[in-house]
């Protein structure tokens, strides 16, 4: 009888612990449900050529000059070659690019966050970017291995109001939480970042160590904190509904498309793609040549607006 009673007590204790774990996970996944009116947009698409042509040339020029992007690039000293490649290639096209490192590095200029934890590094980098980027309307959070075509990003958000809370990229669902993949690049409007920093000041909404019992990725922590402020993840697409942010390098995506032996293959990739992830340093320079320098003679794209490089930059 004693052994049976002991088993019963053990069962009660284990059951209680299980319920507690489920409760904690549920709270992390779902969080409170903000009012629907706070979420004013769903999947975000780039404007069509026809929509742009309806605008006057003066208006198009004004929009192109108004979109300014601050790039916050989180780097690790042990991947120095990747850092150098990003500095020499795609980051030149940001209106402002800052590299945020976990420790001080003499070889390259960066903001020393003096932090090893990934979530804390992201928090500190975003806070620094906002405080030193008041004149910028959009913020890109990226890894150095994520080759980003900044002009295509500007085109995506051209007619979007940065005073609305946008949180853009390639969305993924985990339970009830939808988040933007970090390795494909995360885009925040100035308003979304402002709300996020407000949540940082409230540990009940956005704790530094997270809510779950085990380690949760920084991209999910970010999404959960934004959700508390009424900001939801948005999947970025072109006018045909094709993805713009990619979790793989362009070579890997083309190989996959060809392996499907479909008649459409490469056509499934958007010609306005914004990012490609996991691009090695040597391929960064290949991408740079293909995107910005190689031009087929006699071929014009008839683009209806131009994004000029930042004044004084060594932009390609």
- The reply to whether 54 falls in a domain is yes
Transcribe 247-260 into DSSP letters.
SS-HHHHHHHHHHT
Distance CA 10, CA 235 (A): 47
- The reply to whether 311 falls in a domain is no
Among 195, 39, 221, CA closest to 119: 221
- The reply to whether 30 falls in a domain is no
- The reply to whether 287 falls in a domain is yes
- The reply to whether 63 falls in a domain is yes
Given this model, what pLDDT does residue 299 score? 73
Here the CATH number for the domain that contains residue 269 is 3.90.550.50
Say how many domains are in the chain. 1
- The reply to whether 10 falls in a domain is no
Strand partners of residue 188: 139, 167
Beta-sheet strands, E only, within 152-271: 167-169, 171-174, 177-180, 186-189, 234-237, 245-246
- Running DSSP on this structure, what letter comes out for residue 47? P
Among 234, 71, 80, CA closest to 142: 71
- The reply to whether 299 falls in a domain is no
Burial of 214 (0-12, 13-18, 19+ CB in 10 A): exposed
This prediction's pTM: 0.83
Which domain does 288 fall in, by range? Answer: 43-293
- The reply to whether 188 falls in a domain is yes
Residues 98, 166: contact at Cβ < 8 Å?
Answer: no
One pLDDT digit (tens) per residue for the chain, 316 residues: 444 444 433 443 344 443 343 333 333 333 444 443 344 446 788 888 888 888 888 888 888 888 999 999 999 988 999 999 999 999 999 999 999 998 888 878 999 999 989 999 999 999 999 999 999 999 999 999 999 999 999 999 998 999 999 999 999 999 989 999 999 999 999 999 999 999 999 988 898 875 555 678 999 999 999 999 999 999 999 988 999 999 999 999 888 878 876 556 567 789 899 999 999 999 999 999 999 988 888 776 667 777 877 776 767 7
Q: Which helix (H) or strand (E) holds 197?
A: helix 190-200
């Amino acid at each position: 009888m004693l052994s049976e009673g002991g088993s019963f007590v053990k069962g009660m204790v284990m059951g209680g612990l299980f319920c507690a774990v489920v409760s904690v996970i549920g709270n992390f996944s779902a969080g409170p449900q903000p009012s629907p009116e706070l979420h004013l947009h769903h999947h975000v698409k780039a404007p069509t050529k026809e929509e742009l042509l309806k605008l006057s040339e003066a208006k198009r020029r004004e929009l192109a000059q108004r979109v300014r992007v601050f790039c916050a690039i989180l780097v690790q000293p042990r991947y120095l070659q990747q850092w150098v490649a990003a500095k020499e290639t795609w980051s030149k096209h940001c209106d402002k690019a800052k590299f945020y490192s976990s420790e001080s590095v003499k070889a390259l200029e960066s903001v020393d966050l003096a932090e090893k934890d990934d979530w804390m590094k992201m928090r500190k980098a975003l806070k620094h970017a906002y405080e030193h980027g008041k004149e910028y309307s959009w913020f890109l959070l990226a890894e150095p291995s994520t080759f980003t075509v900044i002009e295509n990003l500007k085109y995506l958000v051209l007619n979007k109001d940065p005073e609305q809370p946008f949180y853009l990229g390639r969305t993924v669902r985990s339970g009830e939480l939808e988040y933007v993949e970090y390795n494909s690049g995360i885009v925040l409007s100035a308003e979304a970042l402002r709300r996020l920093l407000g949540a940082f000041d409230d540990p009940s909404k956005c704790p530094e160590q997270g809510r779950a019992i085990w380690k949760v990725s920084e991209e999910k922590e970010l999404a959960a904190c934004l959700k508390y402020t009424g900001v939801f993840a948005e999947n970025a697409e072109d006018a045909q509904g094709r993805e713009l942010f990619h979790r793989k390098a362009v070579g890997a995506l083309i190989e996959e498309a060809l392996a499907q032996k479909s008649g459409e293959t490469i056509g499934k990739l958007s010609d306005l793609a914004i990012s490609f992830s996991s691009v090695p340093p040597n391929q960064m320079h290949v991408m740079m040549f293909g995107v910005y320098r190689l031009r087929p003679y006699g071929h014009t794209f008839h683009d209806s607006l131009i994004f000029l490089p930042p004044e004084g930059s060594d932009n390609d």
